[in-house]
Amino acid sequence: MPVLNISTYKFVTLDDRDGLRAQMQARCDALDLKGTILLAPEGINIFLAGDAAAVRTFMGWLHQDMRFADIKAKESWSESVPFKKMRVRLKKEIITMKVTDIRPEEHRAATVSPSRLKSWLDRGRDEAGREIVMIDTRNAFEVETGSFVNAVDFGIERFSQYPDAIAAQRHALEGKTVVTFCTGGIRCEKAVLYMNRLGMQNVYQLDGGILKYFEEIGGAHWSGNCTVFDDRSALDPGLVPVQEPLPHR
């Protein structure tokens, strides 16, 4: 498939967002890229698609800014560009949780790699013998498309409902190893820090999210597909677009 799709993010203080917005819009337009870039005081969130050489040229340009030098993108391929336009938008948060003092830039929550998670799920226990509980932090319509087998989800309609939902369940999760997951990892950066604030222990985020798990592991312990927020609608565990109804936004 000829079109390269990338997604990536970074929590980093941005105090020059107006200038960045203009520069990024101009660079993407010049490279004929389509997608969305979100810029907030807390960081950047990127979804882009286009010719592979053009996408890699953009990433090379982005890496020249030391704030973004370590950004790595998750990749997938499609027959056509799944975005209709290119937008660089200013937002209050790159993922809206409405808990303003949770700052992943200052301290990143503990992670578990896709390969280590698979080994835990194969056994049903971590190395210390604790039961594994998977928690889906995504919205209900995304969970309907697919999720990890036996994962817990709270039926939330927006991420700002997650803090109350997890707080109500924290005691039931004591003594277990909890792994949160979402599409690309960005929600879990905040979710696990909030869970740590509640005093929850042995809590991890799936590093790179579902898409990284698909890239490295495939569909082991997964059921269904994964919703993505572009015209592809959903990807199967091989990162191939599938025919699904477009999700409600």
Q: Is 81 helix (H, G, I), strand (E, B) or coil?
A: coil
Strand arrangement of the beta sheet that strand 177-181 belongs to: 111-112, 203-206, 177-181, 132-136, 152-153
182 is catalytic: yes
Evaluate if residue 124 carries a pLDDT over 80: yes
7 contact partners, CB below 8 Å, separation of at least 6: 46, 47, 73, 74, 184, 211
> Which one of 28, 182, 188, 226 is the catalytic residue?
182
Domains of the chain: 3-90 (3.30.70.100), 111-242 (3.40.250.10)
Between 17-30 and 52-62, two packed helices, what is the crossing angle to 10 degrees?
Answer: 150
- Predicted TM-score of the model (pTM): 0.90
C-alpha to C-alpha distance for 154 and 136, rounded to whole angstroms: 8
What is the structure's pLDDT at 244?
A: 54
pLDDT bin (cut points 50, 70, 90) of residue 100 is confident
